[in-house]
């Protein structure tokens, strides 16, 4: 069976996320290790770290994934925000090491009109700066984007241009978001489209760089550039599309994190059950 989980709240302390993940039946899960909507950072207390690490060991859940907060923008031209973003990345890598989290996912950001080439250079330089002073073994996962205006990472070629400038390439992997890919023009809902998408991925990166799936349906159409996640099977990718994805031997054994909506009718449990149903 597939390894599936969701993004889990750290309300009350990061260690509380483990029990929540276990209660939901997660085989993997994702967190923010801190408040994702602010720059202020509270240090991790020793007891919290020990409870988190021991809880993960006891649970058998693997891997745990951390996600960068929302405010950092590694592609942006504003120097003050950029420097804070690089610092945030450096600190988050260290927090992952403390918590023994193997993967840290980052968005690549927005060039804010300064141009894609400038955005590539900024992202690569920021990652190189953060990794230059980091001695741990956390893998930084670059996430593809939905191709929204001024975003960096909507096309595989964007990510390749960044990777070509990374110095510690052994510390880098890729997180593939299905909603983002579809919105950016990759037709993962059909067998032919999925094969074409993965063949291009393999050509540019090698499939070994693909470490994680963000499994989300899309409210927007193919190539719409609309970053709006939908419940599994209820969006434009649909049940048949996810059935193809979940039965593809190149993807099936990867950890899968759902970032699907939570509303009155459906939530995380419904979406995990739907994934397991479609994966049978």
Instruction: List, for residues 229-249, the tens digit of each pLDDT value.
Output: 999 999 999 999 999 999 999
pTM listed for this prediction: 0.97
Mean of all residue pLDDT scores within the chain: 97
Mean pLDDT of 75-81: 97
**pLDDT for res 270:** 98
Looking at residue 267, its pLDDT comes to 96
Q: What is the DSSP letter of 143?
A: E
Catalytic residue among 180, 189, 219, 231: 180
Tell me the pLDDT band of 188, cut-offs 50, 70 and 90: very high
Q: Identify the CATH class of 3-279.
A: alpha beta
**Among 217, 227, 230, 268, the one annotated catalytic:** 227
26 within 8 A of 6, measured Cβ to Cβ: yes
264 is catalytic: no
Q: What is the mean pLDDT of residues 7-31?
A: 98
> Hey, CA dihedral for 99, 139, 10, 273, is it positive or negative?
negative
Which position among 15, 27, 66, 143 bears the catalytic label? 143
247 classed as catalytic: no
111 among known catalytic residues: no
Cα–chain-centroid distance for residue 119?
A: 19
Please report where in the chains the tokens 């899309």 appear, as a residue.
218
Average pLDDT over residues 262-274: 96
Phi and psi based region of residue 13 (left: phi greater than 0; alpha: psi -120 to 50; beta: remaining): left
Q: Known catalytic residue: 143?
A: yes
Active-site position among 34, 214, 219, 231? 214
List 107, 171, 219, 236, catalytic entry: 107
User: Is 214 designated active site?
Assistant: yes
Which tokens belong to 217?
A: 């349906």
**Is 180 noted as a catalytic residue in this protein?**
yes
At 8 the pLDDT is: 98
Q: What average pLDDT does range 155-182 have in this prediction?
A: 98
Catalytic position from the list 7, 67, 111, 122? 67
What was the pLDDT predicted at 1? 86
- Sort strands 139-143 and 172-177 into parallel, antiparallel or unpaired: parallel
The predicted pLDDT at position 96 comes to 98
Determine the pLDDT at residue 165: 98
The length of the chain is 280
User: Which residue in the list 94, 202, 248, 259 is annotated as catalytic?
Assistant: 259
Q: Which of 55, 169, 86, 151 is nearest to 112 (CA)?
A: 151
Is 70 annotated in the active site?
yes
């Amino acid at each position: 069976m597939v390894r599936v989980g969701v993004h889990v709240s750290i309300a009350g302390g990061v260690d509380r996320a483990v029990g929540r993940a276990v209660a939901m039946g997660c085989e993997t899960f994702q967190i923010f290790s801190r408040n994702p909507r602010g720059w202020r950072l509270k240090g991790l207390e020793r007891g919290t770290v020990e409870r988190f690490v021991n809880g993960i060991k006891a649970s058998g859940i693997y891997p745990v994934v951390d996600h960068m907060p929302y405010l950092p923008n590694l592609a942006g031209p504003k120097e003050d925000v950029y420097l804070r973003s690089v610092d945030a990345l450096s600190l988050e890598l260290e927090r992952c090491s403390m918590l023994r989290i193997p993967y840290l996912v980052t968005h690549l950001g927005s060039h804010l009109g300064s141009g894609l080439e400038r955005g590539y250079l900024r992202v690569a330089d920021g990652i190189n700066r953060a990794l230059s002073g980091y001695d741990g073994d956390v893998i930084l996962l670059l996430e593809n984007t939905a191709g929204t205006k001024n975003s960096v990472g909507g096309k595989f070629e964007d990510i390749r241009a960044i990777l070509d400038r990374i110095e510690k390439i052994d510390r880098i992997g890729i997180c593939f978001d299905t909603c983002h890919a579809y919105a950016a023009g990759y037709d993962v809902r059909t067998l032919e489209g999925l094969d074409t998408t993965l063949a291009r991925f393999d050509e540019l990166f090698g499939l070994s760089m693909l470490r994680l799936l963000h499994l989300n349906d899309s409210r927007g159409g193919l190539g719409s550039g609309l970053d709006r996640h939908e419940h599994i099977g209820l969006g434009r990718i649909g049940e048949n599309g996810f059935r193809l994805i979940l039965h593809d031997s190149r993807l099936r054994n990867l950890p899968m994190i759902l970032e699907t909506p939570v509303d009155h009718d459906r939530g995380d449990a419904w979406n995990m059950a739907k994934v397991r149903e479609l994966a049978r």
